[in-house]
Structure 1
């Protein structure tokens, strides 16, 4: 038995840290898999789903107002001093005086049951509709959070891809530069070139090594940012399946205004808010109507001067009835509440018009930026290819003795600059693609 207990305690010790914090994992995700993971692990989405459950409970709570209400009560009283009343002395043959008389007994107890049922209340009926609309609003809020998470994960994923691409270009440059440096050092030893030729290439090589270290650190930072956006622990190991070549860069889409509005979650949210405001107006109008409720109660009273015999005699009471409440004067409060509700609804109409203009502007800006980014990326791609060709020709001339090392160094520097411009244009292009998809409402939940 001792051995079993030790094994149990040892196993419990190993298991407890897993309950205390999320366990680090190892994963290899494509972009879509990363988005899917984030949809079930990202804190903002988890909290949005909790808000959905709160909204569902709120709906059930509102429904419960119209269901039968039943309550029980019990009481016990010990009159240390029984209440005394003064009665005219005429009753006792003492006219013109008042005689003190004690009414009641020392011990009193009661047990009762009360029930009520709402039969008609206009504000309750409107509140039911509003609670369901509120639930719809919470679901759409979760959708908006999912879309925002998808955008954040996609941008972070693209940042890692761009950093990987930049690192690959630097590694290719280093490999080529190391060979050139080795060949030039050999030529220097044989007296065919000057030391300055070696020094120039050494400077380029050292700069590339430093740049590579910076990119590696930036890559690690981007990976951690991606983990954060996905809801993974920073200690987890994450690798990417996708490559830059897998990303499809299409021509910008052009949609009619109405189509864009209907696809944007923000517009849908505001339409739902408008429905809530309209229901709010109806609710305040319904407060001017009467309400009707049925009620009933039954109770048993016990009285005695002797505590032991308190519950020997029971005096029951039962009553049922209807309660009609008709509002007459409320100091104008309901009227002004109704006016304010109408004004809030008018504000929502204005916000819808403004949101349409905002969406139109966002789409126009996103499309323009996307098209400009396409042209810039194509141009930087051509410049990088030209820089590679210039470096290739320059090295051939240098190897044949008809070119200088300065020309080679300048060509290497130009290629590195062209590659950096290409990387920046590539990153901008990918981010612009995400922004355009978001503006057009193409990112769904």
Structure 2
């Protein structure tokens, strides 16, 4: 009795400081505090920024450019007679007097010296500085448009993954909560049995002292009582493990005392009142939705690879200042501006077959996703059928175990009366007590199996997040 009293006093002290929660509270805390859910929500935000980045590629790009070049060896330019324009004399009838005068002056400046005609003239200066603004903007770039479409689907995929993480977490929290209830109920069953057998042992000892029963009965009752201790310790350990798992899923500190409200008996009536929708079309299943979105992305990726064969048109504008000098006297530098405006038309012709092979890879990816979806869909339909069958079987077991518990209790009362009148044996009493314990454990296990199968079915069907009992 001392051991049982210690357990009861310790449990009472813990309950007074424990965080009391039911299933709805556990789900609310988990969905707001679980790190996996937070990461999934942040992934949506990240994809939103990626979409904005894709749109940004359609806007003009402005770049400030600064460049310095130091000539190690300046370029040498050679001039032939007549500046490479065929040599010979200039026809004066083709030019005005002003043009002839300019040509004569330039000719004197650059006319090669017969003695050094092969040496050439070095052009430019040692230091070249360039600074200015460069602007470019895509006009017709089909691959950018496809990339924007892919970013939109990517956001939808991130949102579906976030929904999937919530559905998975809801399933895990429910099953963990039910596991804790099962461990708690099992512990209560063993504790109640221990208390009953302790009283029974005291009665047998009193009757032995009176000489009514043999010492064998005392020994048997004492062995029966002590044999319950390992089961109690094991169920208590299972409670701690289930509690730690639930705390982890809820995202709370493991040191916080936790006490679940209720027992599996509270779900007994709901088992037969709950109506499970017959829609098993997998329209809301998250795995199927993710496959469809991935297939949509792969299709757009294939279209983007095809768009690599299309021409692109890009406009550009730059306004630059340049200065060329042989020294570093910056205050005396002369800066000369120049600017250009243009468009660039690029028509892909051949790049070693890269575009073609990339497109074929996208085609294969589409086929792979199609076949994988079929396999996943078959597995999900099998899971639905198994869960339905397990729920139906569990309901039958609950009804049968309820009757078994009543019959076991009635049988125990009869054997007790028989034993007290000397018509029965202690072995019959122990067997009847063990039958009650087993029947009650089977009853609670059947309820747990039903609830776990129902949670798995809801996950497979992709039910929206809700705290259903």
Offset at residue 107 of structure 1 (A):
2.7
> Residue 284 in 1 paired to residue 276 in 2?
no
SS of the aligned residue for 1:331 comes to: coil
Among 253, 257, 260, the alignment partner of 2:276 is: 253
CA distance in 2, matches of 1:109, 1:434: 72
Among 113, 126, 137, the alignment partner of 1:117 is: 137
> Residue 369 in 1 paired to residue 360 in 2?
no
Among 61, 67, 80, the alignment partner of 2:59 is: 67
SS of the aligned residue for 1:92 comes to: coil
Q: Does the 8 A contact of 1:82 with 1:103 survive in 2?
A: no
Offset at residue 256 of structure 1 (A):
4.2
Structure 1 stretch displaced more, 333-342 or 143-152: 333-342
1:137-161 Cα offsets, whole Å, 9 max, x none, are 0111111111111111111100110
CA distance in 1, matches of 2:77, 2:457: 89
Question: Where does structure 2 lack aligned partners over 5 or more consecutive residues?
Answer: 1-16, 82-110
> Residue 296 in 1 paired to residue 317 in 2?
yes
CA distance in 1, matches of 2:135, 2:19: 59
Offset at residue 125 of structure 1 (A):
1.0
Q: Does the 8 A contact of 1:369 with 1:432 survive in 2?
A: yes
Among 195, 205, 211, the alignment partner of 1:185 is: 205
1:302-313 aligned at under 5 Å gives the runs: 302-309=323-330, 312-313=333-334
Offset at residue 175 of structure 1 (A):
2.0
SS of the aligned residue for 1:98 comes to: coil
Q: Does the 8 A contact of 1:117 with 1:295 survive in 2?
A: yes
Decide whether aligned partners of structure 1 residues 86 and 357 sit closer, same or farther in structure 2, where only a CA change above 3 A counts: closer
1:291-440 aligned at under 5 Å gives the runs: 291-309=312-330, 312-440=333-461
1:16-55 aligned at under 5 Å gives the runs: 27-55=19-47
SS of the aligned residue for 1:57 comes to: helix
Q: Does the 8 A contact of 1:107 with 1:310 survive in 2?
A: no
Q: Does the 8 A contact of 1:252 with 1:371 survive in 2?
A: no
Offset at residue 84 of structure 1 (A):
5.2
Structure 1 stretch displaced more, 153-162 or 52-61: 52-61
Q: Does the 8 A contact of 2:23 with 2:174 survive in 1?
A: yes
Offset at residue 408 of structure 1 (A):
1.1
Q: Does the 8 A contact of 2:319 with 2:340 survive in 1?
A: yes
1:399-440 Cα offsets, whole Å, 9 max, x none, are 223222222122122222323333433332322222222233
CA distance in 2, matches of 1:232, 1:309: 66
Q: Does the 8 A contact of 1:89 with 1:96 survive in 2?
A: no
- State how many pairs are aligned: 418
1:217-244 Cα offsets, whole Å, 9 max, x none, are 2111110011112222222222212432
> Residue 87 in 1 paired to residue 85 in 2?
no
SS of the aligned residue for 2:213 comes to: coil
Decide whether aligned partners of structure 1 residues 126 and 37 sit closer, same or farther in structure 2, where only a CA change above 3 A counts: same
Q: In structure 1, what is the equivalent of residue 229 of structure 2?
A: 209
Q: Does the 8 A contact of 2:264 with 2:444 survive in 1?
A: no
Structure 1 stretch displaced more, 214-223 or 433-442: 433-442
CA distance in 1, matches of 2:345, 2:31: 51
After TM superposition, the score normalised by the length of structure 2 is: 0.83
Question: Where does structure 1 lack aligned partners over 5 or more consecutive residues?
Answer: 1-24
Offset at residue 281 of structure 1 (A):
2.2
Q: Does the 8 A contact of 1:300 with 1:315 survive in 2?
A: yes
> Residue 220 in 1 paired to residue 240 in 2?
yes
CA distance in 2, matches of 1:403, 1:118: 98
CA distance in 1, matches of 2:154, 2:197: 64
SS of the aligned residue for 1:249 comes to: helix
CA distance in 1, matches of 2:159, 2:344: 38
Q: In structure 1, what is the equivalent of residue 290 of structure 2?
A: 269
Q: Does the 8 A contact of 2:390 with 2:449 survive in 1?
A: no
Q: In structure 2, what is the equivalent of residue 58 of structure 1?
A: 50
CA distance in 2, matches of 1:332, 1:76: 39
CA distance in 1, matches of 2:321, 2:159: 50
Offset at residue 288 of structure 1 (A):
1.8
RMSD of the alignment, in Å? Answer: 2.3
1:353-398 Cα offsets, whole Å, 9 max, x none, are 3333223222111111111121122222221221111111111222
1:258-305 Cα offsets, whole Å, 9 max, x none, are xx3112111111111121122122212222211111110011011223
Q: In structure 2, what is the equivalent of residue 139 of structure 1?
A: 159
Q: In structure 2, what is the equivalent of residue 21 of structure 1?
A: none
CA distance in 2, matches of 1:97, 1:441: 88
CA distance in 2, matches of 1:336, 1:99: 53
SS of the aligned residue for 2:283 comes to: helix
